[in-house]
């Protein structure tokens, strides 16, 4: 055990438990991939499997197991992986940059996930893939709510502190999969064009290996 109370990544295997198509699972896999952290993946579908046997007390994914450590909540998992790996840290050291990383993560989790993923992406991309009709009202509502999220992120991207595309941070790793799913809906890609700084960031980040090599839809409803 290290002085911080957690097993070294080389001393105990990591197991990621998650639903392979979950955007939050993708976020964690991107961080694991970028840091070169070896892990084993266990697929768990929270929509159809027995939640009583699931280690997350609220029945969500992902969950990370590392020796005797069990972690849930995506931001906590990513921070943990970043802290135990030996590559360049994904959490910047400057006070403003660190605060912006946390701010971006909170914005996307609190205000962005539902409209961008559950309303726009799920309705426009996932439902047709499953031979179901999309709910156009849900999509319209999601786009309206997403506009405030994109506007807030645009102001942060203008600073080029953590959403510059030049240097990877946990903010990039958290927002990247969300933006990728959102932009697979034509309306999402079109909406992003109204935000030049955020669009510039996305054009610089979308082909980075942490996203491309872990894309869960590379053989799915892309």
Q: Name the band, by pLDDT with cuts 50, 70 and 90, for residue 76.
A: very high
Q: Both 198 and 145 in a single domain?
A: yes
Q: Both 30 and 110 in a single domain?
A: no
Task: Indicate whether 156 pLDDT > 70.
Answer: yes
Cα–Cα dist 145/129, whole Å: 24
* CATH number, domain containing residue 46: 3.40.30.10
pTM over 0.75: yes
CA distances from 116 to 88, 109, 111, 179, 208 (A): 30, 10, 9, 8, 21
Q: Both 22 and 119 in a single domain?
A: no
Q: Name the band, by pLDDT with cuts 50, 70 and 90, for residue 58.
A: confident
pLDDT at 166: 86
Number of domains in the chain: 2
Task: Indicate whether 94 pLDDT > 60.
Answer: yes
The reply to whether 150 falls in a domain is yes
Task: Indicate whether 161 pLDDT > 80.
Answer: yes
| Mean confidence (pLDDT) of the chain | 90
Half-sphere exposure for 184 (CA within 13 Å, toward CB)? 25
Check: CB of residue 45 under 8 Å from CB of residue 55.
no
DSSP 45: -
Q: Both 116 and 200 in a single domain?
A: yes
The reply to whether 140 falls in a domain is yes
Q: Both 190 and 126 in a single domain?
A: yes
The reply to whether 218 falls in a domain is no
The reply to whether 5 falls in a domain is no
Instruction: Determine the structural domain holding residue 145 and report its residue range.
Output: 95-212
Q: Both 64 and 32 in a single domain?
A: yes
The reply to whether 7 falls in a domain is no
* CATH number, domain containing residue 164: 1.20.1050.10
The reply to whether 131 falls in a domain is yes
Task: Indicate whether 210 pLDDT > 80.
Answer: yes
Half-sphere exposure for 214 (CA within 13 Å, toward CB)? 26
Record the tokens describing residue 151, joined without a space. 């506007």
Tokens 């970028």: give the residue: 34
pLDDT at 44: 84
Tokens 């990591």: give the residue: 14
Of the residues 84, 116, 141, which one is the last residue of a structural domain? 84
Q: Both 100 and 137 in a single domain?
A: yes
Of the residues 30, 57, 84, which one is the last residue of a structural domain? 84
pLDDT at 47: 62
Of the residues 29, 54, 84, which one is the last residue of a structural domain? 84
Cα–Cα dist 10/58, whole Å: 30
The reply to whether 58 falls in a domain is yes
Q: Both 64 and 162 in a single domain?
A: no
Task: Indicate whether 4 pLDDT > 60.
Answer: no
């Amino acid at each position: 055990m290290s002085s911080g109370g957690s097993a070294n990544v080389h001393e105990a295997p990591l197991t990621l438990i998650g639903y392979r198509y979950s955007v939050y699972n993708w976020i964690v896999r991107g961080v694991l991939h970028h840091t070169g952290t070896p892990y084993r993946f266990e697929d768990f579908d929270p929509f159809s499997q027995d939640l009583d046997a699931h280690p997350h007390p609220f029945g969500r994914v992902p969950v990370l197991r590392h020796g005797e450590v069990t972690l849930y909540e995506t931001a906590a998992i990513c921070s943990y992986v970043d802290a135990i790996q030996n590559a360049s840290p994904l959490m910047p050291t400057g006070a403003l940059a660190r605060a912006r990383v946390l701010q971006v993560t909170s914005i996307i989790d609190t205000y962005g996930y539902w409209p961008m993923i559950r309303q726009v992406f799920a309705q426009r991309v996932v439902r047709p893939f499953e031979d179901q009709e999309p709910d156009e009202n849900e999509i319209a509502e999601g786009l309206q709510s997403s506009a405030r999220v994109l506007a807030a992120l645009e102001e942060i991207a203008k600073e080029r502190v953590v959403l510059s595309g030049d240097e990877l941070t946990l903010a990039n790793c958290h927002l990247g999969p969300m933006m990728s799913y959102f932009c697979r809906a034509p309306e999402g890609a079109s909406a992003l064009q109204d935000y030049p700084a955020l669009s510039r960031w996305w054009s610089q980040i979308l082909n980075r290996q942490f996203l491309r090599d872990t894309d869960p839809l590379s053989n799915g409803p892309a």
